[in-house]
Amino acid sequence: MQATDIGVRTPAAARALTRSDYKTLGLAALGGALEFYDFIIFVFFAPAIGQLFFPATIPDWLRQLQTFGIFAAGYLARPLGGIVMAHFGDLLGRKRMFTLSVLLMALPTLAMGCLPTFASIGVLAPVLLLALRVLQGAAVGGEVPGAWVFVSEHVPRRHIGYACGTLTAGLTFGILLGSLIAAAVNHHYTPSDIAAYAWRIPFLIGGLFGMFSVYLRQWLHETPVFAEMKARKSLADEIPLKAVLRDHGRAVIISMLLTWMLSAAIVVVILMTPPLLQKQFHLDATTSLLANCLATLFLTVGCVSAGALADRFGARRVLAIGGMALAIAYYVLFRQIAVDTSMLMPLYALCGLLVGTIGAVPYVMVNAFPPVVRFSGISFSYNVAYAVFGGLTPIVVALLMKSAPLAPTYYVATICVLGAITTLFFKDTHREQ
């Protein structure tokens, strides 16, 4: 079986998207948005959580370190959770794991909103918080690769880029949703109210939304590709990950390098830039966060656009051109804001749109692995790379900034160039669709 085969499809592979396809994309993207919201809402209330779940006697820096350590534990749990869920996704079905992942996210999020604090149960409070965070990490580790596989195996081959881009847009919209709800809570409640009870509201909302998403996913059907493999009894006859590492090393390396580009764009341009702008250019928090919301909104548009363009022109051109354009735009943003902050909104929005180039990354990964091990191949490559590169990026950028104030732009540019070079080593399949 060729690595570029999406599955044995009928002549309907060339058909247009149907109402059923759009329903599948909509439900998958909505569930992904809610799950990503559940995963990242923690960081918006980290200060309040640190005050409530650790002893008041410890220094602030240690409390902050422990709080973000628990946040980081979610990222460290992603590879293991993703690998386990992908294993069963390749053997038992995509839909089962796709539904399980959102359930495993919704329940811990709901539990976090009800969790007793350190004042009530002592050291057990942070231990339980850590355990719930690990479950969240395991869930999102299965959700992202599983969602890409699920939607790509439902639509015609010539629309795989659009499907993956739409799903990725849903995930990024979850980040925007989290920031908007966090802003609303901080606007409507005083700091004392937030510390007393209001910090729980976003977690309770997320948990309830997650359970609703579990219900919605019951309306989804198993992918035609998996159903056909099951009918033909052509499922993996060994551990899928073993086959991935033995037979698809090139695809794993390419997927990891492109995930590095994806993580650099998201972590630096979207997540790190607001505090960087506040620190370097003395912008107020409200202005920088508003600009970030605008950039994230444009990011969702960019993801859909990049996926659709990958269908038409191939992922190689989209990733190479989009990546280089992002490197230039992000550099211009920092240089321009240093002399004139009035251009913050349009320039950051442009950067967000170009970060959307990452919407073409799952298109490459879906085509890189054959259906029998696709879930495991994408999950291993994406989650391991994101845990390593996503985790190290803030540290590397912070260290580089000691000697180079424009280090964030240099880092993004370097990884974008690496991504452009990586595109030379995979086969574009858009002409075959």
Integer Cα distance of 49 and 130 in angstroms: 12
The two tokens of residue 13 are: 């592979």
Q: Are residues 52 and 163 in the same domain?
A: yes
* Tally of domains within the chain: 2
Q: Are residues 350 and 405 in the same domain?
A: yes
Q: Are residues 280 and 184 in the same domain?
A: no
For 397, list phi and psi in degrees, rounded to 5: -65, -40
Q: Are residues 250 and 212 in the same domain?
A: no
Q: Are residues 212 and 292 in the same domain?
A: no
Give the per-residue SS3 of the chain. Answer: CCCCCCCCCCHHHHCCCCHHHHHHHHHHHHHHHHHHHHHHHHHHCHHHHHHHHCCCCCCHHHHHHHHHHHHHHHHHHHHHHHHHHHHHHHHCCHHHHHHHHHHHHHHHHHHHHHCCCHHHHCCHHHHHHHHHHHHHHHHHHHHHHHHHHHHHCCCCHHHHHHHHHHHHHHHHHHHHHHHHHHHHHHHHCCHHHHHHHHCHHHHHHHHHHHHHHHHHHCCCCCCHHHHHHHHCCCCCCCCHHHHHHHHCHHHHHHHHHHHHHHHHHHHHHHHHHHHHHHHHHCCCHHHHHHHHHHHHHHHHHHHHHHHHHHHHHCHHHHHHHHHHHHHHHHHHHHHHHCCCHHHHHHHHHHHHHHHHHHHHHHHHHHHHCCHHHHHHHHHHHHHHHHHHHHHHHHHHHHHHCCCCCCHHHHHHHHHHHHHHHHHHHCCCCHHHC
* Measured CA distances, 29 to 22, 159, 219 (Å): 10, 16, 14
Please say which residue of 218, 252, 272 terminates a domain: 218
Which residues, other chains included, contact 373 with Cβ-Cβ below 8 Å and sequence gap of 6+?
Answer: 90, 236, 240, 241, 243, 244, 248
130 and 73 in contact (C-beta within 8 Å)?
yes
Integer Cα distance of 168 and 358 in angstroms: 8
pTM score above 0.75: yes
The predicted pLDDT at position 5 comes to 43
pLDDT, one tens digit for every residue, the chain (433 residues):
344 444 444 434 567 788 888 888 888 888 888 878 887 788 778 778 888 888 888 777 777 677 777 877 777 888 888 888 888 888 888 888 878 888 888 899 999 999 999 989 998 999 999 999 888 888 888 888 888 998 998 888 889 999 999 999 998 898 888 888 888 888 888 888 988 999 999 999 989 988 888 888 777 888 888 888 888 776 776 788 898 999 999 999 999 999 999 999 998 999 889 888 888 888 887 788 889 899 999 999 999 999 999 999 999 999 999 999 999 999 999 999 989 899 999 999 999 999 999 999 999 999 999 988 998 999 999 999 988 888 788 888 888 888 888 999 999 999 999 999 999 998 776 555 5
Q: Are residues 288 and 184 in the same domain?
A: no
Please say which residue of 186, 218, 250 terminates a domain: 218
Q: Are residues 244 and 198 in the same domain?
A: no
Integer Cα distance of 216 and 131 in angstroms: 27
Instruction: Supply the range of the domain harboring residue 399.
Output: 237-433
Print burial letters for 189-202: b (CB count within 10 Å at least 16), e (below 16). beeeebbeebbbbb
The CATH number of whichever domain residue 337 belongs to comes to 1.20.1250.20
Q: Is residue 342 part of a domain?
A: yes
Q: Are residues 413 and 331 in the same domain?
A: yes
Integer Cα distance of 178 and 67 in angstroms: 18
Integer Cα distance of 258 and 260 in angstroms: 5
* Amino acid type, 317: R
For residue 41, the Cα-to-chain-centroid distance in whole angstroms is 13
The predicted pLDDT at position 429 comes to 66
Q: Are residues 255 and 287 in the same domain?
A: yes
Q: Are residues 373 and 412 in the same domain?
A: yes
Q: Is residue 231 part of a domain?
A: no
Rg over alpha carbons for the chain, rounded to the nearest Å, is 21
